[in-house]
Amino acid sequence: MQHPVKGRVRLASTPVRLWCRIFRPQDPRGWADYHCVTARNGLLWLHTHGLARRIGYDLEITDVPRELRREALELMIALARLARSRGMLKPDSDLTATLGGPGHGIPQTATLRKAPHSDREHGALLRLVDRGEPMQSRFPKRLFASWLLALADGGKEPRQKEALCRKALAIFPGEHCDGLAGADLPDGQVNSPDLQERTNLGAYIGLTEALCAQRRFSEACGPAAEAIARCPGWAARYRDRLLQSSPVRDPYLQFWKDLNVSEIVGRLRGAAPAPADAPRKPFAFGRRPKDPYAELLARG
């Protein structure tokens, strides 16, 4: 697709590019031109020119919401740095990496598809889509959600972290997974790429952490409950680690101490399906109903 190169199309100015090429050769802003074009549907098309000389192909992301322009550029730069360190890129290959660097939480996953452009300027573009999706799937919402979490983990102030996590949830609120998914993760960790791709679990936990850091403990229970409803097996493990490492001294920790996983799953999913192999105990007068998720996990 032909487009003029003017105004805000070029994301890094010529002086910045030249400065990086001469004085900061390790900076990806000096390796290529980064263009941002507004498509007819009002969304953004980000792509590179010149990166193919280093990694075999240029990169593109389509249908980017306008409010994510800056974060999309940061993602492209991170991908360019990763691609150069790993060598030539190939169509239909999967990518898994922690693009934010060590200590930046959940890895990002994507698939590279050959873009359908036939003009000379854009004929060597690879399109970033969510892992396993076809080229036509357009905006990679799961990839972007995990990228926003990587930015949130990068030492952001709590209000900034809250804003990034809310953006991630607006892009991809996550899906409900099987009852015991995540129960095998050590100590209820949230950095599983597979679990993140399905549930966007990291965004819910990141949001609760940001709210707790602002001492908005009661408000933090909302996203925590949404995380539990999406992944109840993980929640039981996470609760054990959280309560062992932190004494109960605020409403948020009290929420985790008192919660009944099955009750939250039933309330937020509209039904309360217990795990298929959960133990069944007869209910008698004066006996409190047991949480089947907690009972099953206790057996393991």
Q: What digits encode the pLDDT tens for the residues 94-126?
A: 988 887 755 556 788 899 999 888 787 787 889
Q: How far apart are CA 217 and CA 215, in angstroms?
A: 5
Domain boundaries, the chain: 14-140, 156-299
Indicate left, alpha or beta for 14 from its phi (over 0: left) and psi (-120 to 50: alpha): alpha
DSSP 47: E
Distance between CA atoms of residues 178 and 293, nearest Å: 12
pLDDT band for position 282 (cuts 50, 70, 90): very low
Percent of the chain residues past pLDDT 70, beyond the cut: 78
pLDDT, tens digit, 9 for 90 and up, residues 1-41 = 556 555 566 666 667 767 777 777 777 778 788 888 888 88
* % of the chain residues with pLDDT over 90: 24
pTM, rounded to two decimals: 0.79
Please tell me the distance from the alpha carbon of residue 234 to that of residue 238, in angstroms, as a whole number: 6
Residue 54's Cβ-count burial label (10 Å; 0-12, 13-18, 19+) is middle
Best-predicted range by mean pLDDT (29-33, 210-214, 290-294): 210-214
User: 114-153 burial, b if ≥16 CB within 10 A, otherwise e?
Assistant: ebebeeeebeebbbbbbbebebebbbbbbbbbbbbbbbbb
More confident residue, 223 or 105: 223
For tokens 């995990």, name the residue.
146
- Compute the CA torsion angle 180, 232, 265, 130 (nearest 10 deg): -90
Can you tell me the distance from the alpha carbon of 88 to that of 40, in angstroms, rounded to the nearest whole number? 32
Helix (H, G, I), strand (E, B) or coil at 245: helix
What is the residue whose two structure tokens read 């990068």?
154
Say if residue 276's pLDDT is above 60. no
pLDDT of residue 236 exceeding 90, the answer is no
Task: Look at residue 281 in the predicted model and tell me its pLDDT.
Answer: 44
